[in-house]
Amino acid sequence: MHCHYEVLGVKRDAGDDDLKKAYRKLALKWHPDKNLENAEEAAEQFKLIQAAYDVLSDPQERAWYDNHREALLKGGLSGDYEDDSIDLLQYFTVTCYSGYGDDDKGFYTVYRNLFESIVKEEMEHSRMDNEEEEEEFPPFGDSRSDYDTVVHEFYAHWQSFCTRKNFAWKEEYDTRQASNRWEKRAMEKENKKTREKGRRERNDLVRQLVAFVRKRDRRVQAHRKLVEEQNAEKIKKMEEMRRQQKLKNAKLAEDYKEQSWAAMSELEKELQQIEAQYGEEFGDASESEDEEEVEVDSQEKNSDLTTECYDDLYCPACDKSFKSEKAMKNHEKSKRHREMVVLLRQQLEEEENSLGLNVDGKEDGENENELEEEDDEEEEEERPRQNGHATALYSSASHSSTSKNKKEKKKNR
């Protein structure tokens, strides 16, 4: 099968006007009426021109043709397509090369030719959108290639390889034979899955090949060994620096301790000499000790004064101390205080009886009189409260009675 673009002699990105001009020009050239001498060849050529223009002039037909161009040119979609790409599986063995030299059968020559062939296939199957900006594939190099400028760039690019083939020849359905749009969409969906599967398998195969080659590449092995040696040297240097730093710190600590101990011993000797001089001049007792004794005496006096002040506001029955006289008086008026006083008196009487002490009748009479006086004082304090409450009740009752009289008078009127 011939390529439609080649038949019309146009580029793959040609517009409608370019297609019309090319078609008219070729139709006039190969029309059977103008080629009577070669009528059969002209008729065959005219049919190809007519078919190419019919496909490329229709946007949908052209889009389908662009997606399946490689498959159509290599056998069509009828199942007789043969993929002529390189079989990469035969390069997953060490028997495909002999030695690591640059001769024809050497490691670097064999795989350099292999990757160049892969690049050529990818460029042939590149899409129309990527033709203007073609991606550059870094070369494989030889045994003497520099690692940073050649080897590292090669493996960095090929380890993330993505094929440009669309794998349209693996599609199972021809969307042109669909009876309706729903069936067409279903066919396109299944065909897309098939194409994606083919692309994924191709990418995985190439990446696995790159990993196989990289593992056996002597340039990579030499660089890895160099890096390990450099890291080992760095680790040794770091350990040596740490050891030297530890020794330096230990020495500084020892020097610092010796100096501090020497300084302290000298200060102790000076202090002892000064104490001996003061002892000879002023005696054994120092002024500082006298001052300390004076301070202690003043603190004790202050504490005695405070305790005396708080003794006046202390309730022995309830075991409580108060800060003001008002608080003390309010406490003495409380019911709890009176109960505690009674309990305290009972306890004291029981203790006196148990000890066999004689208590005069006068004292008992005096205690009873004191209790009666306290009860009289409490009754006097409660009387004004009761009187106030009674007056309030009387005023409320009188007010209610007057209001009732007024209402009755209004009714009578």
Q: List Cβ neighbours of 220 (8 Å cut-off, separation of 6 or more).
A: 147, 151, 155, 214
Task: Decide if pLDDT at 238 tops 90.
Answer: yes
pLDDT of residue 386: 46
Long-range contacts of 212-219 (CB under 8 A, 24+ apart): 212/91, 212/92, 213/111, 214/155, 214/159, 216/94, 216/107, 217/107, 217/151, 218/100, 218/107, 218/143, 219/141, 219/143, 219/145, 219/147, 219/151
| End-to-end C-alpha distance for the chain, whole angstroms | 132
Determine contact, residues 109/117, Cβ cutoff 8 Å.
no
> What pLDDT, on the 0 to 100 scale, is given for residue 304?
53
Most confident of 96-100, 239-243, 282-286: 239-243
pLDDT of residue 328: 83
pLDDT at 401: 46
Amino acid residing at 208? Q
363 pLDDT exceeds 80?
no
* Residues 163-185: tens digit of each pLDDT: 888 777 777 787 777 888 898 88
The pTM of the full predicted model, rounded to 2 decimals, is: 0.47
pLDDT at 1 over 70: no
Per-residue buried b or exposed e for 345-381, using 16+ beta carbons within 10 Å of the residue's own CB: eeeeeeeeeeeeeeeeeeeeeeeeeeeeeeeeeeeee
Statement: residue 87 has pLDDT above 50: yes
With a cut of 90, say whether residue 237 has pLDDT above it: yes
Q: What is the pLDDT of residues 275-329, one digit of tens each?
A: 888 777 776 544 444 555 555 565 555 555 444 444 567 888 788 888 888 888 8
Task: Answer whether residue 128 shows pLDDT above 60.
Answer: no
Per-residue pLDDT, 153:
92
Segment 212-225, tens digit of pLDDT: 899 889 999 999 99
Q: How many angstroms separate the most distant Cα atoms in the chain?
A: 173
- Measured at the alpha carbon of residue 356, what is the angle toward residues 350 and 358, in degrees to the nearest 5? 95
Dihedral angle computed from the Cα positions of residues 348, 352, 358 and 362, in that order, rounded to the nearest 10 degrees: 0
